[in-house]
Amino acid sequence: MGSSHNNKSRIFTPCTRTHQIGALLLVTTTFFLTRLFDQSFSPCHSSPVNQDGISHRNHVHISDGGRSISWPERGYGSHLSLKIYVYDENELDGLKLLLYGRDGAISADSCVKGQWGTQVKIHRLLLQSRFRTKKKEEADLFFVPAYAKCVRMMGGLNDKEINQTYVKVLRQMPYFRRSGGRDHIFVFPSGAGAHLFKSWATFINRSIILTPEGDRTDKRDTSAFNTWKDIIIPGNVDDGMTKRGLTLVQPLPLSKRKYLANYLGRAQGKVGRLQLIELANQYPDQLESPDLKFKGPEKLGKIEYFQHLRNAKFCLAPRGESSWTLRFYESFFVECVPVILSDEAEFPFQNVIDYTQISIKWPSSRIGRQLLDYLATIPDEHIEQMIAHGRQIRCLWAYAPETEPCSAMQGIMWELQRKVRQFHLSAETFWLHNGSIVNRDLVEFNNWKLPVRLP
Q: Helix H segments across 114-196? A: 118-127, 148-153, 159-170, 174-179
User: 197 lies in a domain?
Assistant: yes
Nearest alpha carbon to residue 328 among 340, 313, 314, 342: 340
Q: Helix H segments across 171-238? A: 174-179, 200-203
- Cα 400 to chain centroid, rounded: 16
pLDDT tens across the length of the chain (455 residues): 444 444 443 444 455 656 555 655 555 555 444 444 443 333 333 333 343 333 345 677 776 555 567 777 777 878 899 999 999 999 999 999 999 999 999 999 999 988 889 999 999 999 999 999 999 999 999 999 999 999 999 999 999 999 999 999 999 999 999 999 999 999 999 888 899 999 999 999 999 999 998 875 555 667 788 888 999 999 999 999 998 777 899 999 999 999 999 999 888 888 999 999 999 999 999 999 987 776 777 777 889 999 999 999 999 999 988 889 999 999 999 999 999 999 999 999 998 999 999 999 999 999 999 999 999 999 999 999 999 999 999 999 999 998 888 999 999 999 999 999 888 889 989 999 999 999 999 999 999 999 998 87
Residues 203 and 323 in one domain: no
User: 144 lies in a domain?
Assistant: yes
Task: Please report, for residues 91, 136, 191, 304, 435, the alpha-carbon distance to residue 120 in angstroms, rounded to integers and kept in the order given.
Answer: 18, 22, 16, 26, 38
Residues 376 and 280 in one domain: yes
Residues 196 and 248 in one domain: no
Give the number of domains in the chain: 2
Residues 127 and 169 in one domain: yes
Query: Do 430 and 439 contact (CB within 8 A), yes or no?
Result: yes
Residues 149 and 259 in one domain: no
User: 198 lies in a domain?
Assistant: yes
User: 1 lies in a domain?
Assistant: no
The pTM of this model reads 0.84
E-only strand ranges, 189-311? 208-211, 231-232, 259-262, 287-288
Rounded to whole angstroms, the Cα distance separating 179 from 131 reads: 20
**Nearest 10 degrees: CA dihedral of 365, 366, 369, 371?**
-130
Side by side, which strands form the sheet with 132-133? 132-133, 84-86, 141-143, 184-187, 208-211, 231-232
CB burial of 422-435 (b: ≥16 within 10 Å; e: otherwise) equals eeeebeebeeeeee
Q: How many CB atoms lie within 10 A of CB 361?
A: 16
Residues 218 and 247 in one domain: no
Residues 281 and 391 in one domain: yes
The angle at the Cα of 209, spanning 59 to 448, to the nearest 5 degrees, equals 130
User: 304 lies in a domain?
Assistant: yes
Query: Do 96 and 89 contact (CB within 8 A), yes or no?
Result: yes
Q: How many CB atoms lie within 10 A of CB 28?
A: 10
Residues 229 and 251 in one domain: no
**Strand-pair partners of 211:** 232
Residues 248 and 218 in one domain: no
The CATH number covering residue 299 comes to: 3.40.50.2000
Nearest alpha carbon to residue 166 among 189, 191, 190, 149: 149
Residues 266 and 154 in one domain: no
The angle at the Cα of 136, spanning 98 to 419, to the nearest 5 degrees, equals 80
Residues 300 and 365 in one domain: yes
pLDDT of residue 330: 96
Task: Identify the domain containing residue 186 by its residue range.
Answer: 84-236+420-447
DSSP secondary-structure letter at 315?
Answer: E
User: 170 lies in a domain?
Assistant: yes
pLDDT of residue 39: 38
pLDDT of residue 290: 87
- Cα 381 to chain centroid, rounded: 29
Residues 138 and 252 in one domain: no
User: 173 lies in a domain?
Assistant: yes
User: 322 lies in a domain?
Assistant: yes
Sign of CA dihedral 431, 418, 184, 143: negative
pLDDT of residue 3: 43
Sign of CA dihedral 71, 62, 187, 361: positive
